[in-house]
Amino acid sequence: MVDTRTQPVSRAGVAAPRFTEKDLYGLAEKYGTPYFLIDEATLRRKVSEMEQGFSEFRGVFRVAYSVKANFNPSVIRTFASEGILFDLTAPSELTFVLKSGGSAGDVMYTSITETEAEYEEVLRTGVRKIVVASHNGLMNLIEAAVRTNVTVKTMVRVNPEVHVHAELRGSMGHGKFGLQFNGGSQDSAFSVLKKVLATPGLEFEGFHFHLGSQIEDPSCYAEAIEKLEAFILDARRQFGDFHVKTLDIGGGLPAPYGRKVPSPKDMGNKIVGQLNSLVESIGDRFTLVAESGRFLTAESTVMVSRVVNTKSFGEGKYVYVDAGYHVLLDSALLRHEYPVEVVPGGKPSPQKVVLVGRLCDPLDVFPTSVRSKLGGAEPGKLVVFRDVGAYSLVMNMPFHSQPRPYVLMRNGQGSYVVARKGQSVDRLYDEEGGDCLAAA
Ligand SMILES: Cc1ncc(COP(=O)(O)O)c(C=O)c1O
């Protein structure tokens, strides 16, 4: 008889990480459920898929990892060893990158808060490329540059105000991020660029935009590049010659989540020709940067939970697992479906199966469709959620006094290592204030 527990668990036609049932059950015994499991080889493969996608670009192309998607040190360490750049938003992220083997020289710092104190801190730590996105931010950067006595390679973040078909849109009229090209106010790309060019402590480096996350129609990039080209040519007529050394087209590459989505190659096919023409038309052989969080990390990771209860209702059955949206917040916020699989699987259930979490909250229902394989879900079996590496384990929260679960990694040698210790209930209790009521 075949021991099904040694069969690899996989998704048909998708090169997702494969873990054997034996390993998944073995890790569940040792570390408890739920737990996250990251595959290092998949992280590395995603970097090379991005590099291949833009291989026809005539200048230098650099991948940047957007650390906000997953700041686990093992993930950062893996990307640092690939020699890629890091897109950071806060000094605390910089600490994570430096402690995990990254270098300040490989950082593009794109803050939302843009305070003088944070600029001073990151400049003192060795960051030199900073993306500004407001007039106040620019003033703070100038002050920080004077105090630290360093020359800052300054990028201007624009909001190209193009329509984006995506779950999370970063570019739109009156959007939160980036500067409108024009509009007459001091918070326009035009005005900020003029000031950057005129400030001795700043060296103009280039432009940045970020259009959104999980972008499944790449035509918005083409539209944004077209608008940016017109802006550069116009600004040159007004300010004289300036050079674009870096163009950062932000994040947004989609993760599959069990469906077919455009690959980096598809995206490259759509825009690399246009980027090459931009090199010609502005006469600058700029470095092209694409920042990614979701694409680089989502597929690398599974979350393993256990069925703890079932209950029939009318035409269907509830399957309760010991996880909940407190460990998969991205799915709860976006209502998107992770591919889910019962391990070992059974025959497809004739009943409707509703997969629910352990939280006492009617919202704690996992979106599933026919793509999920929920047959054979009985207490004791494992339920594996795929593609959960982005914006999930970094958002774990202790709702219902639930400690943060273990994060494990299968490293390049195929061994399992602990990437984050699970929290004990006692530790959570202490961190929540515990017995001490210290004077404030
Ligand atoms: C400036 C910037 N770059 C890159 C990203 C990464 O986006 P994604 O994970 O969709 O690739 C984000 C996400 O919020 C962002 O704000």
Q: Rounded to an integer, what distance in angstroms lies between the CA atom of residue 344 and that of residue 381?
A: 7
Segment holding 157, helix H or strand E: strand 152-157
46: pLDDT strictly greater than 70: yes
Q: What is the pLDDT of residue 335?
A: 75
- Of 104-113, 291-300, 350-359, 415-424, least confident by mean pLDDT is 350-359
Residue 189 gets which letter from DSSP? H
Ligand 1 near 252 CB (within 6 A): yes
Give me the count of residues in the chain. Answer: 440
302: pLDDT strictly greater than 50: yes
Please check whether residues 175 and 248 belong to one and the same domain. yes
Please check whether residues 130 and 233 belong to one and the same domain. yes
| Of 74 and 436, more confident | 74
Q: What is the pLDDT of residue 173?
A: 64
Distance 269 CA to ligand 1 centre (A): 21
Q: What is the pTM of this model?
A: 0.94
Please check whether residues 225 and 369 belong to one and the same domain. no
**Average pLDDT of span 271-286:** 97
Please check whether residues 288 and 302 belong to one and the same domain. no
Q: What are the helix and strand counts (H, E) for the chain?
A: 12, 20
Distance 109 CA to ligand 1 centre (A): 12
Is 152 within the bounds of a domain?
yes
Residue 440, class by beta-carbon neighbours within 10 Å (0-12 exposed, 13-18 middle, 19+ buried)? exposed
pLDDT band at 332 (very low <50, low <70, confident <90, very high): confident
**Average pLDDT of span 273-277:** 97
Domain range for residue 342?
Answer: 4-39+298-431
Please check whether residues 345 and 318 belong to one and the same domain. yes
Chosen domain end from 292, 317, 348:
292
Could you give the C-alpha distances from 159 to 15, 70, 156, 210, 385, in angstroms and in order? 35, 25, 10, 8, 35
Q: Rounded to an integer, what distance in angstroms lies between the CA atom of residue 300 and that of residue 323?
A: 19
Q: What is the pLDDT of residue 348?
A: 86
Q: Rounded to an integer, what distance in angstroms lies between the CA atom of residue 248 and that of residue 194?
A: 19
Q: What is the pLDDT of residue 4?
A: 38
Please check whether residues 314 and 263 belong to one and the same domain. no
Nearest to 175 by CA among 163, 192, 191: 163
176: pLDDT strictly greater than 80: no
> Atom of ligand 1 at shortest distance to CA of 208?
1
Distance of CA 118 to the CA centre of its chain: 22
Please check whether residues 280 and 320 belong to one and the same domain. no
Segment holding 410, helix H or strand E: strand 406-410
Is 68 within the bounds of a domain?
no
Is 317 within the bounds of a domain?
yes
Chosen domain end from 263, 292, 321:
292
Measured by CA distance, the residue closest to atom 12 of ligand 1 is 251
pLDDT band at 113 (very low <50, low <70, confident <90, very high): very high
Nearest to 301 by CA among 420, 214, 386, 394: 386
Is 57 within the bounds of a domain?
no
> Atom of ligand 1 at shortest distance to CA of 292?
11
Decide if 382 contacts 342 (C-beta within 8 A).
yes
